[in-house]
A and B are shown apart, each in its own frame.
Chain A
Amino acid sequence: MRLGRAGLNGLGLLVALVTLFPIFWMVSTAFKPATEIYSLTPHPLPEHPTLANFRTVIDGSVIGIPYWNFLRNSLFVTLVAVAASMLIAMLAAIALARFRFRLRTSYLIMLLIVQMLPQQALVIALFLDFRRLGVLDSLVGLTAVYTAFALPVTIWMLRNFVAAVPREMEEAAAIDGAGPVRIFWRILLPLVAPGLVATSVFAFIFAWNEFVFALTFLGTDTAKYTLPIYVQYFYGRGSVDWGGIMAASTLFTIPVMAFFLIVQRRMVNGLVAGAVKG
């Protein structure tokens, strides 16, 4: 099978268009009036584009709670979890990249394994624990869980970034009399900053998208829902309003996509760990 330049490009275009179609259909549906959504012949593009679907989502006229409420919940949970996991992961990454000690490799391997534990299994025990502690319906409990589950990957990613900073720079600063704290703020942190951003974005995407824990912990307290649970609730209500669901889904999805495109290459490297290390 020898394809010319044109054949390859045609194939590439086909792959790209097929891949983009579901996303295109989500956005397109979100802008369609109900008559076009449910018409017998589908309209690829909205013929009479409308913002009505977005309006019902944002002012909350369907389920009684405006979109901002869920956005605020999601932002709170996500930002606090990102900040907490970055702080904890940074400390661990320094230990794992800069010190030699017993259990170092064991800890790294433990993190790899922990990352693969199924969340729908652990949620059962966490639900019972949180119920006993009285933090079930709280965003704080959810934030703590997101911090913990973001850690294995973020520690791994940050460790690689810290290890990539040449040790000699820190040693030179130490010879000049800088203490560990000063070396961290003035040497290590600025050099690791790009890696820190990439790692935070990873943690952000995880917490922003997370479904099982939010679904289980937040129960029937609709006002506390984060965006993914809100989209699911909107969808599961029975009388299906696809325009509204697609509008809500669009508002929920676009921020992740933007972030994803920013850090794509580092994400791949982080996930395949060493396998792709050239």
Chain B
Amino acid sequence: MVKTVPGPPGPGLQDPPPGRYTARERAAALIRRRHLTPYLLLLPSVAVVGALVLWPAAQIGLFSFQNYGLPQVIGTAGTQWVGTANYTAILSDPEFWLSLRISLIFAAVVVPLTLLTGTLVGLLLNRLGRRMATFVSGAALLAWATPAVSAGVIFVWLADPDGGIVDWTLSRLPPWLGGGAHWVNFSWTNAALPAYTLLTVLVLWQGFPFIAVSVLAGLKTIPPELHESARVDGGGPWRIFWRVTYPLLKPIFLVLLLLSIIWDFGVFTQVYIVIGELGNRDEYNLGIYAYDRAFTMPPSYGVASALAFILTIVLLIITVGYVRASVRQGAIS
């Protein structure tokens, strides 16, 4: 082996006697001898991610222990360390508890709903003929591909009190299905419950395709003989799913569950659109509340950072589970 790119070069080649080489050659030799190449290749990504993602995350932590408001930004007063004052202020703030409750309930409702719908569609896709499966998964992918902003304005328009098709349809349903004239001009966005009902449908619509396609990809890895022999042994679809399919796909379900929790607990853009930007404070989830405290006058970056930090920590705890599940799956080798 004369010289290869991967791995260290053979001994002798990279250790020229000093003095007879230019500075450039000496630097190249040093890089090879110390195996610095991978670190140099990583340097740009470390710098960019460090400066624009990790450093801001650390700053959020720092700011959450400071009083950092408008005077500090325009420079009429310096920032001071205030200990845990921001956190104690949050804990006695009813708006924080309301927003946390909304985030938790929303995730608790939407995550199972998305997983269930996605799994059912995935199972359906697996049994459909080729052309029908392509059509259905194509439709699902379009929903998934719809940008959050577009999805937000589309659903607000669908549920618009003046001319929206949702109210029109509901007002024409028979009373035993809950229909009736009280749906005429019903506003879905000016109270928390209807707004988050609309958001549930919206996030479900955007979220189930990923689950369905992932479950389908998992189903394709199961040898068909397994299902066939289970069927020959007299297992019904329900039994086959829980005894054969689910145990084999369990790792996938775990990853999908954790990803869904992270996404639905942290949902921002769709909520921002549906609740009509900032202002309807009783419709905030945790992320929107943190954002509001930072960007509604007068700004309180310290309190906002504390809220953002809490959000980040909750998501990080779930992320640790996600990473462990991925590692166990051999994603990192």
Looking across the interface, which residue of chain B has its beta carbon closest to that of A212?
B268
Is A239 part of the contact surface with B, judged by Cβ < 8 Å?
no
Select one of A38, A108, A123, A145 contacting B332, CB under 8 A: A108
**Bitwise interface map of B from 149 to 163 toward A, beta carbon under 8 Å scored 1, else 0:** 111111111101011
On chain A, the residues within 8 Å of B165 by CB distance are: 25, 42
Give Cα distance in the complex from A208 to B117, angstroms. Answer: 28
Binds A, one of B17-25, B85-93, B105-113, B212-220: B212-220
Is A134 part of the contact surface with B, judged by Cβ < 8 Å?
no
| B63, A260: Cβ atoms closer than 8 Å | no
| B139, A20: Cβ atoms closer than 8 Å | yes
Give Cα distance in the complex from A253 to B309, angstroms. Answer: 33
Give Cα distance in the complex from A124 to B69, angstroms. Answer: 12
Is B2 part of the contact surface with A, judged by Cβ < 8 Å?
yes
**Bitwise interface map of A from 247 to 278 toward B, beta carbon under 8 Å scored 1, else 0:** 00100110011011100100011011111111
Residues of A within 8 A of B (CB): 1-2, 5, 8-9, 11-13, 15-17, 19-20, 22-23, 25-26, 29, 37-39, 41-42, 87-89, 91-92, 94-96, 98-101, 104-105, 107-109, 111-114, 116-129, 131, 144-145, 147-149, 151-152, 155, 167, 170-171, 174-175, 177, 180, 183, 205, 208-209, 211-212, 215-216, 228, 231-232, 235-236, 240, 242, 245-246, 249, 252-253, 256-257, 259-261, 264, 268-269, 271-278
Is B146 part of the contact surface with A, judged by Cβ < 8 Å?
yes
Interface size on B, residues (CB 8 A): 116
Is B39 part of the contact surface with A, judged by Cβ < 8 Å?
yes
Select one of A107, A109, A121, A261 contacting B323, CB under 8 A: A109
Once A37-B163, A268-B213 are accepted as A-B contacts, the answer to whether A113 and B330 lie under 8 Å apart by CB is no
| B311, A99: Cβ atoms closer than 8 Å | no
Give Cα distance in the complex from A66 to B212, angstroms. Answer: 39
| B287, A121: Cβ atoms closer than 8 Å | yes
| A273, B255: Cβ atoms closer than 8 Å | yes
**Bitwise interface map of B from 112 to 156 toward A, beta carbon under 8 Å scored 1, else 0:** 000000000100110111001101101111111111111111111
The secondary-structure label for the interface of chain B is helix
Select one of B6, B156, B311 contacting A118, CB under 8 A: B311
Once A253-B147, A257-B142, A274-B326 are accepted as A-B contacts, the answer to whether A91 and B45 lie under 8 Å apart by CB is yes
* Residue with the highest number of chain B CB atoms closer than 10 Å, among A152, A177, A231: A231
On chain B, the residues within 8 Å of A276 by CB distance are: 214, 217-218, 221, 252
Give Cα distance in the complex from A261 to B144, angstroms. Answer: 10
On chain B, the residues within 8 Å of A19 by CB distance are: 136, 139-140, 142-143, 205, 209
Return B326 CB to nearest CB of chain A, in Å.
5
| B141, A170: Cβ atoms closer than 8 Å | no
| A151, B163: Cβ atoms closer than 8 Å | no
Looking across the interface, which residue of chain A has its beta carbon closest to that of B288?
A120
On chain B, the residues within 8 Å of A236 by CB distance are: 276-277
* Residue with the highest number of chain B CB atoms closer than 10 Å, among A8, A89, A275: A275
| B44, A92: Cβ atoms closer than 8 Å | yes
Known contacts A8-B127, A228-B149, A272-B256; 7 further A-B pairs (Cβ under 8 A): A88-B48, A98-B38, A175-B2, A252-B150, A271-B259, A274-B332, A275-B214
